[in-house]
Amino acid sequence: MCNSQVGWSSRLFHSVDHPENFPVASVLLPREIRSKVKAIYGLARFADDLADEGPWPVGQRLACLSELATMIQGSKAGPWLKRSGVSEQAQASVNALRTQGLNRDAIICRELLLMLSSFAWDARGFCPETGEQFERYCRGSAASVGRIILELHRISDEKSLQASDAICTALQKINMLQDSGVDAKRGRIYIPACELRALGYDAAHWFAFCAAGSLPQDLKLWVQQQAIAQCDQLCLHQHLVARLPLRLAWELKAIIAAAASIARALARSPDPVKARPKIRTAIRGSAVIHLLRDWIFGLPVPAGLRQGGNQGNDA
């Protein structure tokens, strides 16, 4: 439900010409669904680059994202997209949606607009104050992707939506833990300020530690604990696969298995800022067997989570 730089899957997953951490448009999906996913991803990637890349000031980025949102709703490229030299790319991205008939799906359009609103937070230099604010950000930046995929498969029951939201949010958080050092170099921090304060730090401390290339022991422990917590979330909500068509279920199992490999690498990393965990290094040796086991059989649920996990399955 997200994109891929997963080396072991080079033959299994399509390249979409941009490095991310989780697979998108897998050959496991039916061809008609795959083409829709690639069109959606193309627009999302373009919008994310408007927020992240290029030489434009914040106001110009926000204006371009706003104009792209109106294009999804039927307008033509506006003056800021033209001034930025990306109006043709914007039109091509929107045309791909229209070619697939996705602009006529109200749910998909709503989720895309929600995604753009999260990208606008990125453009402003998102620095969450509370965990709740970070969760709202993840709702647009990550959970919207899962909801779009479910909509493409005409799955809309509340239990599936809730499980998808939880899985996609966990994927987003694992990605942000993995990239925390890289993000800091770009002036970004996704750790809620309240959690840093609880450890006696603030954003300035975090940036300084990352610039120095190493975290103090208590922050290393915090990252490790967060990685374990997100792996637990994947465990608790992987029952979603039982509600999905077979090919989508295998796609999701592959994504969860890859994400769990990264989370485990973060949890055992002596310093995730000094050495960013990658999927290629996370699945060396016996870890390859663990990844294949997780893909085929699902993540093993820790004993402490089994009661809660069973309750979630029976709910």
Q: Report the distance separating Cα 290 and Cα 260, nearest Å.
A: 10
User: Angle at the Cα of 231 (from 175 to 7), degrees rounded to 5?
Assistant: 50
Structural domains of the chain, ranges and CATH numbers in brackets = 7-314 (1.10.600.10)
State the virtual CA torsion across 304, 306, 308, 313 in degrees, nearest 10: 160
Looking up tokens 């170099």, which residue turns up?
185
pLDDT in tens, the chain (315 residues): 443 333 333 333 333 334 443 445 566 788 889 899 989 999 999 999 999 888 899 999 999 999 999 999 999 999 999 999 999 999 999 999 999 999 999 999 999 999 999 999 989 888 899 999 999 999 999 999 999 999 999 999 999 999 999 999 999 999 999 998 888 888 889 999 999 999 999 999 999 999 998 999 999 999 999 999 999 999 999 999 999 999 899 989 989 998 998 998 899 888 888 888 777 665 666 667 777 888 889 998 877 666 554 444 443
Rounded to whole angstroms, how far apart are CA atoms 52 and 58?
A: 10
Please list the residues that pair with 195 across neighbouring strands: none
Whole-number CA gyration radius for the chain: 19
Question: In angstroms, how far is CA 221 from the centroid of its own chain?
Answer: 23
